[in-house]
Amino acid sequence: MPDAKVIPFDDDRARRRARGVPHPSPPPGERPPTPEPASVPEPADPEPVDGSPGEPGAGRPTDPGGEAPWLDRLLGTGWDRRAAAGLSFLRRRLTGEYAVDAFGYDAELTDQVLMSLLRPVYEKYFRVEVRGVGNLPAHGGALVVANHSGTLPWDGLMLQVAVHDHHPAGRHLRLLAADLVFTLPVVGELARKAGHTLACTEDAERLLAGGDLVGVMPEGYKGIGKPFADRYKLQRFGRGGFVSTALRAGVPIVPCSIVGAEEIYPMVGNAKTLARVLGLPYFPLTPAFPWLGPLGAVPLPTKWTIEFGEPIPTDGYAPGAADDPMLMFNLTDQVRETIQRTLYQLLVRRRSVFF
């Protein structure tokens, strides 16, 4: 038989008093029950405070570890771990306890510093939208071929962030850059640290053989320095050297289309004489540069879209396929037409240059 629930008399009296019903008198000869004394909660221990009366910070609560909650509110929770990690990073940089590969790629510096500097530009300024990132292989080598534009190579940097931040495996894109990049002071050293290397067949084949994801923009200076009137019209892809590299390595070619970079610096003219004097492939003239000085070098905040297309396999061809000029021409044209068609599709769907 289950235990019966006993209702105390004092609780019944309290309920009756609340309803205005008099409590019945106990039977003759029976003493009324004595109510149990109400329990009084013990006073809580006072919270420790910082400082003495009259001193700054007096009465401020602290935690048992001695760290003030106001510091957590100011710097955010976990600030101590972040500070320790930052100091550890600085110590390794000062003592040289970090690793670089044969090309000068510094993975730690790229992930913790360079990507952190580029990410706000990627997310807040250009608001890049990425599509088809699943077409990039999870492992092994692949050659990403993209269009090139924008007067300055912001598109290569944004492409690098897109692969690093959106690929499920967090892969890193190794871009092939022109020799001019590595002759510039500071820029050349940072490019090496970020994993970029010279756009030559030998370096590309070594990276692909090592299972890296390699990016190339075959238009080169013709694409990045074209006038604003020719925006989103692909220039020649050279002699198809990237196709030969992919065929020899047996890796897939992934076409990539970038919309938004063409409008960041509307190039309305080219000071060719000044470019020759400075040893540059072109000297851009835009509505803001050089008329506004350094302010004219700030890119316009356009809305970007980066789309990766279906990979084109190359491992099914004969060993000597890279020496077949007709095959090279057909594959090069296939990649170029895929990128051009995707650019037009993205432009049709785009609502505005800036939104």
State both tokens at 32. 């009324």
Overall average pLDDT of the 157-172 stretch: 96
Overall average pLDDT of the 223-247 stretch: 93
In tens, the pLDDT along 326-340 reads: 999 999 999 999 999
Overall average pLDDT of the 43-57 stretch: 45
Name the residue among 189, 201, 137 with its Cα closest to residue 163: 137
Q: CB neighbours of 41 closer than 8 A, spacing ≥ 6?
A: none
Name the phi and psi angles at 269, rounded to 5: -160, 170
Overall average pLDDT of the 135-148 stretch: 96
The model carries a pTM of 0.77
C-alpha–C-alpha distance, residues 229 and 264, integer Å:
14
Per-domain residue ranges of the chain: 107-261+304-349, 265-298
The chain-wide mean pLDDT, for the chain, equals 84
**pLDDT value at 48 more than 80:** no
Judged by phi (left if over 0) then psi (alpha if -120 to 50, else beta), residue 20 lies in: left
| Whole-number pLDDT of residue 33 | 52
Percent of the chain with pLDDT over 90: 69
| Whole-number pLDDT of residue 9 | 43
Band the pLDDT of 198: cuts 50, 70, 90.
very high
Overall average pLDDT of the 7-36 stretch: 49
**pLDDT value at 107 more than 60:** yes
Select the more confidently predicted residue: 196 or 238: 196
Q: Provide the strand spans (E) within 21-180.
A: 49-50, 60-61, 129-131, 142-146, 173-177
What 186-191 contacts at long range (C-beta under 8 Å, 24+ apart), as own/partner pairs, is 190/114
Percent of the chain with pLDDT over 70: 79
Band the pLDDT of 210: cuts 50, 70, 90.
very high
Pairing mode, strands 142-146 and 253-259? parallel
In tens, the pLDDT along 53-99 reads: 444 444 444 444 455 576 666 666 777 777 887 788 888 888 888 88
| Whole-number pLDDT of residue 8 | 47
User: Is residue 56 classed as helix, strand or coil in its secondary structure?
Assistant: coil
C-alpha–C-alpha distance, residues 262 and 151, integer Å:
8
